[in-house]
Amino acid sequence: MNQAHWHLIFNHAPIFGALAGSLLLAIGLLQRQDALLRAGLWALVLAVATGLPAQLTGSGAAQVVKNMPRVSQALIQNHAQAARAGYWVLVATGTLALLSMMQMQQRAARVRLLLGLTLLGAVLSFGLLARAGNLGGQISHPEIREGYGTPDEL
């Protein structure tokens, strides 16, 4: 397996981890369920962990596809920049998740504020990573690029 294979294996995990974390945190906050809150926080920490291999294999994946037909350096760079930004927001969110877990354990007074900030970071992470995933898909899936269509759509 080459770097592109590994990149494709790992790159969806942080996107869905951020989504799962967002949903679990939102429901946990609404229903005041500590178990759901903890599950959402752990989902975010796991999303950070699974996002690291995606980040580390990105350059190798770019080397594999850079000379393929219909692949441009601009597509690769747009994806890489979006992925870096999304991942760093996810890392910050994962840090907030760990802090939230410690505050929950200590029954801190401001834990709900910290959980709310973590939820905000999770939603932002999901949006940024989903955008990065879409840009990455455009590298080797021209059918999802803007302006692409079947002859009956043109």
Amino acid 35: pLDDT: 97
pLDDT reading at 151 higher than 70: no
Specify the 3-state DSSP secondary structure of 52. helix
Residue predicted with more confidence, 3 or 77: 77
- Answer yes or no: are the C-beta atoms of 51 and 87 closer than 8 Å: yes
Distance in angstroms (rounded) separating the CA atoms of residues 139 and 77: 10
- CA–CA gap between residue 120 and residue 29 (Å, rounded): 12
For all residues of the chain together, what is the average pLDDT? 91
* Helix or strand holding residue 37 (H, E): helix 34-65
In this structure, the number of other CB atoms found within 10 A of the CB of residue 52 comes to: 13
pLDDT band at 33; cut points 50, 70, 90: very high
pTM, two decimal places: 0.88
Using an 8 Å Cβ cutoff, are 92 and 121 in contact? yes
Cα separation of 83 and 68, whole Å? Answer: 21
The residue ranking higher by pLDDT, 70 or 24, is 24
Residue 145: DSSP 8-state = S
pLDDT value at 153 more than 60: no
Taking only the tens place, the pLDDT of each residue in 59-102 is 888 888 888 888 889 889 999 999 999 999 999 999 999 999 99
